[in-house]
Amino acid sequence: MLIVGAGLAGLTVAEALRAEGYQGPVTLLGDEAHGPYHRPPLSKGYLLGETGAAQLVMRAPELLAKKNIGLKVGAGITAIDRAAGALTLSNGSSLPYDGLALCTGSRLRPLPLPGADASGVLGLRSLDDAKAIAAVLDVARNVVVIGGGFIGLEVAAAARRKGASVVVLEAAERLMARVVAPRVSEFYLALQRGQGVDVVLGAMVAGLAVRGGRVVAVSTRDGREFPADLVIVGIGILPNQELAQAAGLECNAGIVVDACSRTSDPAIVAAGDCTARRMPDGSLRRLESVQNATEQAKSAAAALLGREREFTATPWFWSDQYDVKLQIAGLTAGADEVVTRGEPAAGKFSAFYYRAGRLVAVDSINQPAEHMTARKLLDKGVSPSPAQAADTAFALGTLLA
């Protein structure tokens, strides 16, 4: 069994194969110089110096060896020969496989402007990215973040806590507009501005000013210019599907998989950020989360052994900014009604999303217990009425009895 990608999804496939009783060779092939490590702390504790590199390690080499899981770092894969059942590595060598898992992850969406490759213009996806940003943050005075999504706002929070002057330029008319309701966006706008971050909405970036090979400012289409000795680009990610695509696997904004993580080739599975899952209605859904990587990987391992293990749990996500934790359960797409439970002014509330009268998602701010209840409600298909959701005196957990 060969696994391309040594991140969370790849590691989980390897360990799940062992848990399922597979005794044959298992090898993780990672293109980075590092073994499996945790990515969520990179934009939070690691940038602040609160989380060290050693704490990011998921499995020490001796633990992998104990489970008889091979690991090859710095291993670039250039081609999949499906007919021969083999991978071609960048050094020209070949590795045969009986089963193959593609956990190739994703990469940063590039900023399509001149100067985007200048010194001081960085993005955050990997440990090496985080190291580069942390080194500059220690001396940066003016930080400009392009993009008001999770990563952009988390880095903005870290930069502000490090003492830098921070500007966030968001093209949309509200923060995190793709995933949260206006009430939640408003709360985070007030939070960031309250911490001294200059958040500019509807800001279309026009260019980067570069002097001596280093970025010095960011300009917007309305003629404003913001000084910068560090620019963080957080405008989304792209799935690493090219290897699969070149091998003739079905791809559409990700490697297309079914509920059991099987690709269009029965000998190949895929899991994590690189995938687009085919839903029962025929639509495709790509989820970028720790939970998705973990659960898809378990399904993938079972599929490699000819077993069915569908991933059906409610999706969940989170974001930490300053001392505020946002936890999301479910998917808000198509919601036609949003009910607020609690008071945003108190810094503890939830937003309940409904579609045609049924609960489809819940955002919880500093409400971990309510988040867990929401996940259980969604998993069981139990929908409180909007009136019940809005009434803080009503115990939502009683609906699970």
Instruction: Please check whether the domain covering 110-233 is classified as CATH 3.50.50.60.
Output: yes
Task: Give the global pTM.
Answer: 0.94
pLDDT in tens, 50-98: 999 999 999 999 999 999 999 999 999 999 999 999 999 999 999 999 9
Distance CA 344, CA 358 (A): 23
Sequence-distant (6+) residues with CB within 8 A of 100 are: 1, 2, 3, 4, 80, 85, 87, 267, 268, 269
Sequence spans of domains, the chain: 2-107+237-304, 110-233, 323-400
pLDDT for the residue numbered 313: 84
Please say whether the beta carbons of 352 and 338 come within 8 A.
yes
pLDDT in tens, 12-60: 999 999 999 999 999 999 999 999 999 999 999 999 999 999 999 999 9
Distance CA 285, CA 306 (A): 24
pLDDT digit string (tens) for the chain, length 401 residues: 999 999 999 999 999 999 999 999 999 999 999 999 999 999 999 999 999 999 999 999 999 999 999 999 999 999 999 999 999 999 999 999 999 999 999 999 999 999 999 999 999 999 999 999 999 998 999 999 999 999 999 999 999 999 999 999 999 999 999 899 999 999 999 999 999 999 999 999 999 999 999 999 999 999 999 999 999 999 999 999 999 999 999 999 999 999 999 999 999 999 999 999 998 778 898 999 999 999 999 999 999 999 999 988 899 999 999 999 999 999 998 899 999 999 999 999 999 999 999 999 999 999 999 999 999 999 999 999 999 999 999 999 999 98
Pairing state of beta strands 106-108 and 100-102? unpaired
Instruction: Please check whether the domain covering 323-400 is classified as CATH 3.30.420.40.
Output: no
2-107+237-304 and 110-233 agree in CATH topology:
yes
Distance CA 394, CA 401 (A): 14
How far, CA to CA in Å, does 45 sit from each of 52, 237, 323? Answer: 8, 22, 12
Query: In CATH, what class is 2-107+237-304?
Result: alpha beta
CA 323 to chain centre: 20
Please say whether the beta carbons of 164 and 153 come within 8 A.
no
Distance CA 187, CA 265 (A): 46
